[in-house]
Amino acid sequence: MNIPLVLGNWKMYKTCAEAIRLVQQIKSGLPSGWVEVGVIPPFTAIAAVSRELADSPIALGAQDVYPAAEGAFTGEIAPPMLAELGVHYVLCGHSERRHIRGEDDMFVGRKVAAVAEAGMSPVLCVGEKLEERDHDEAEAVLLRQLSVGLAGFKSDGSAGLVVAYEPVWAIGTGRVATPDQVAAAHRFIRDWLSVNLKMTNPPRILYGGSVKPENVDSLYNIPEVNGFLVGGASLKADSFLGIINIYG
């Protein structure tokens, strides 16, 4: 059985000094329970956080990547640059990248493949918008995002794939999908992965979408959920640790 994984996505928050203070607070309160923890700071703080995480069990992540090893891509970050800094997890296709920056499934798929090729673990983010759920299109959206997003992923490689289900309508809104909705989506994803990816260790499937200490109990009790991708609640040590401690 895979160890549960809790990732904190800090988005466009935290200067280097603030990031270091937050990591120190998380480290001091980290439980000894059966759970893996990772933090995903903005690019400007990755090097500082990497140094702070030396000799720590906390994994380092990155919020995005460009799918090329190098090139004339002003403002972009290549996979080898992240790997050099000790990054382990890289978000690919977060809903805010898809719907604010217009990234399509094929571009997201290129990121997944590039991250895996660089020896890091891609975290493929999938999920439907509110109108898609209201029109019973949630599974069709997940099918498209999985099949295109993982078309170039080599499941026999050393990189460990993670999938994060984040219904777009529950991100930053305070709304949370019901346990039945979460379980159904995770089962659909799990079934697709088991049929289409022949992996020795099945990928962990996280839930993301307004996860907080106040609602994590109901989500924790869903057998299909292997951990959480946490947004706003990861910006303060006490709330992030409150979620992590569900596994402690």
pLDDT of residue 172: 67
**CATH number of the domain residue 146 falls in:** 3.20.20.70
Mean residue pLDDT of the chain comes to 93
Residue 200 has pLDDT above 90, yes or no: no
- The residues facing 90 across adjacent strands are 62, 122
CA torsion angle for 146, 167, 216, 234 (degrees, to 10)? 90
- Please state the separation of Cα 13 from the chain's center in Å: 17
* pLDDT per residue as tens digits for the range 51-66: 999 999 999 999 999 9
Q: What average pLDDT does this structure show over 8-15? A: 98
* pLDDT per residue as tens digits for the range 218-245: 999 899 999 999 999 999 999 999 999 9
Catalytic residues, by residue number, are: 94, 166
pLDDT of residue 38: 98
pLDDT band at 154 (very low <50, low <70, confident <90, very high): confident
Contact present, 215 and 176 (Cβ < 8 Å) = yes
- Could you give the CA distance from residue 72 to residue 85 in angstroms, rounded to a whole number? 21
Burial 210-234 (b: 16+ CB within 10 A, else e): bbbbeebeebbeeebbbbbbbbbbb
Tokens of 62: 């990155």
Contact present, 7 and 221 (Cβ < 8 Å) = no
- Could you give the CA distance from residue 162 to residue 5 in angstroms, rounded to a whole number? 9
* pLDDT per residue as tens digits for the range 32-48: 878 999 999 999 999 99
For the chain, what is the domain count?
A: 1
For residue 94, give the nearest of 65, 73, 120, 114 by alpha carbon.
65
Contact present, 73 and 106 (Cβ < 8 Å) = no
Reported as half-sphere exposure (CB side, CA atoms, 13 A), residue 26 has a value of: 32
pTM (two decimals):
0.96
For residue 223, give Cα distances in angstroms to 9, 40, 157, 165: 23, 25, 27, 14
Calculate Rg over the CA atoms of the chain: 17
> Phi-psi category of 178—alpha, beta or left, where left has phi over 0 and alpha has psi -120 to 50?
beta
- Could you give the CA distance from residue 120 to residue 90 in angstroms, rounded to a whole number? 7
- Could you give the CA distance from residue 9 to residue 62 in angstroms, rounded to a whole number? 9
Range(s) of the domain holding residue 37: 5-247
pLDDT band at 158 (very low <50, low <70, confident <90, very high): low
